[in-house]
Chain A
Amino acid sequence: MKIGVLSVQGAVTEHIRHLERCGVGAVAVKNRESLNGISGLIIPGGESTTIGKLIETFGLADLIRERNRQGSLAVFGTCAGMVLIARDIIDGIKGQPKLGLMDITVQRNAFGRQKESFETEVEFKSFDAPLTAVFIRAPIIEKASPEVEPLANMPEGIVAARQGNLLATSFHPELTDDLRVHQYFIRMCK
């Protein structure tokens, strides 16, 4: 099984390294061709406005939507990736590009500017011990439809959730040595 990492901008190599540590073949996805033959796609942290614009420009967005809806591509969005897969975005730029796959409403930069960025311990559903979560100008899930299963909560809102073959985290599991969130996603990929 191969899993792709959207290689447009952001923390691409960090996700690839984590997938390799999990023993899975990792593919950097930069164009339509490299989307073939992967069962899952990680959309990394970065700037959602930049990544969103470029995947529309270079024809990746439609193909990701199509394959996810057919059920042949699980998608995991971290931080900016969470913003991109959300159905609704609060405080986006005018005409903010998005994939709109998951029935969640996401607030961008929900914890403030960079100096308010932080790390903390988070309880993740089904994990036997908490994980260290790194939040960088992070978004949060403000609203979720009943089909969405929250996996981690903070007083401010939901910070990890799953809906079918979609996974989203506000934080960056690729910035710590803990592989459990990646292993969780790998189990979601057929």
Chain B
Amino acid sequence: MKEQGTFRVKKGMAQMQKGGVIMDVTNVEQARIAEKAGAVAVMALERVPSDIRAAGGVARMADPEMIMSIMDTVTIPVMAKVRIGHFAEAQILEELGVDYIDESEVLTPADEQYHVNKHLFKVPFVCGARDLGEALRRISEGAAMIRTKGEPGTGNVVEAVRHMRKVMDQVRQVISKADDELVVLAREIGVSLELLKEVRSAGRLPVVNFAAGGIASPADASLMMQLGSDGIFVGSGIFKSEKPQLVAEAIVKATLHYDDPKVLVEVSRKLGHAMPGLEMSTLTEADRMQERGI
């Protein structure tokens, strides 16, 4: 008998993405470029995060027609985003057959209290996190993959670095804690003791953990991999750059050879202008997407 949508199958899908680059695309042509460059998956959305920032207003799930056209174009997995807590959008995407759903702070949250109950779905979910508590809360809701939130659409890697370091630091603390200390930590960060024990015995998050939110160059990808990411999401960084095809290929190669400076020199050359970035201090409190859904 075939058992579909088990947690092992959902989590396993993310394990197959490790060491790879997942790229935001907004049309069929970009999806082709991403696949050709060696992306392990594409994220289909109507606007990349930097354009969502610029446009303002309410950002929702993309038009299914557009997602379908991308699913028909590429053979690699296709992901798509839903608003935090918007389980109806998630039901639509599952029916559509997308391979992974990103419950994303890049879109305008639909529920300020509850995330989607991801256990109810056969399709796996990825969620953003800034620290261990957020990551484990999302996993307890059924997320099969975690990514840093970073600060989307900025082309500034500083927040992704902050979040990855924070998670890694907290994992190291958990590893060294005794049972009674874990009980207190579980209460402090609002997660179950069982999940913390899983982290302690595995020495890492119990699911795959990618970097996202501000990665815009091969060097950024290398940095995040060296900090312990399992792989890389690139949002605006590719198709807001001067030479998307070259930047896409370079980031794929840099993610593989993140620890080989010779390769990094080679792939970082002649990439044209990177996307223009945003300094964090220019963002108002309301501009900060990472504060959504914690």
Contact = CB atoms under 8 A, between A and B. Distances in A.
Contacts of B60: none
A11 interface: yes
Contacts of B5: 115, 117
Interface residues of A, number: 42
A154 to B, nearest CB: 9
A115 B20 contact: no
24 contacts: A9-B18, A10-B17, A11-B16, A30-B256, A46-B16, A46-B40, A47-B20, A47-B41, A49-B35, A49-B38, A93-B36, A93-B74, A114-B99, A114-B100, A115-B123, A117-B9, A117-B13, A118-B2, A118-B9, A120-B1, A120-B2, A134-B12, A137-B99, A172-B12
B197 to A, nearest CB: 18
B3 A120 contact: yes
A9 B99 contact: no
B36, B38, B253: most-surrounded residue (chain A CB, <10 A): B38
Interface string B107-135: 00000000000000011100000000000
Interface string A9-27: 1111110000000000000
Contacts of B18: 9-13, 46
Nearest to A93: B75
Contacts of B38: 49-50, 53-54
A119 interface: yes
Interface of B: 1-6, 8-9, 12-13, 15-20, 35-36, 38-41, 74-77, 94, 97-100, 122-124, 252-253, 256-257
The 10 closest A-B pairs by CB, nearest first: A114-B99, A118-B2, A9-B19, A47-B40, A115-B122, A118-B4, A50-B38, A113-B97, A9-B20, A53-B38
A120 B1 CA distance: 6
A54 B256 contact: yes
A118 B122 CA distance: 10
A39 interface: no
A168 interface: no
B174 to A, nearest CB: 20
A57 B253 contact: yes
Interface string A83-121: 000000001110000000000000011001111111111
A108 B75 contact: yes
